[in-house]
Amino acid sequence: MPAHAYRRAACTAAPLLAIALCTSVFGARAACPADPSAPADTLLSVQFGSEAPLRLGTVELARFGEQQRVQRRSVAAANAAPSAAPSAAASEQSVAYEGVLLRDVIASAPAYERQGRAQRWLTFEAVATDGYRAMFSWGELFNTDAAEHVLVIRARDGKPLDAAEGPLALRALADTRPGPRHVRNLCAIVARTS
């Protein structure tokens, strides 16, 4: 087995530690378009207007406590006949995600509490290193049960996210169509006033 394969295998051993180690071993992350001056050890920036961003690394994210959510979905069989009954042509697949609730990350920013009642008019933009963005409202993150399923993900099925997906990603698992708000390589949450 080549030496790089051993290093990659080690990246699955301790998920939170693996995020820090594997990012440095296998190349630096791309700069975050929302916070280009963030230090290399910053995994996620939380920004409120002109205030200094809250920058979170591996240690800070671990303090939030691990959440796990399982997403179940029906997957059509590749060889199913078009006229077959829908239940016969599909199987159920489960994916376990581990991470922290987006709501908890946002609420941890000192600037969030200073917003007072103006919090209600905030929207939050999740930003990826490639510039992809997804939006969430204050109401859905702090005033609905859907917030329990908006996760900043660091592992899938017990393994750290691969280079194409992470080290962090964001998913709104309660969305009917989760694709549009699936943010790979999440690097920042930016608060905006509506």
Per-residue model confidence as pLDDT tens for the chain (194 residues):
333 333 333 343 444 433 333 443 344 568 899 999 999 999 999 999 889 999 999 999 999 989 999 988 777 666 655 555 555 567 888 999 999 999 999 999 999 988 888 888 999 999 999 999 999 999 999 999 999 999 999 999 999 999 999 899 999 999 988 789 999 999 999 999 86
CA 136 to chain centre: 13
In the chain, where are the structural domains located?
A: 30-193
Architecture of domain 30-193 in this structure: Alpha-Beta Complex (3.90)
Q: Name the residue with tokens 């309660």.
A: 174
What tens digit of pLDDT does each residue of 86-101 get?
555 678 889 999 999 9
Global pTM value = 0.77
Q: 3-10 and 15-25 helices cross at what angle (nearest 10)?
A: 150
CA 26 to chain centre: 20
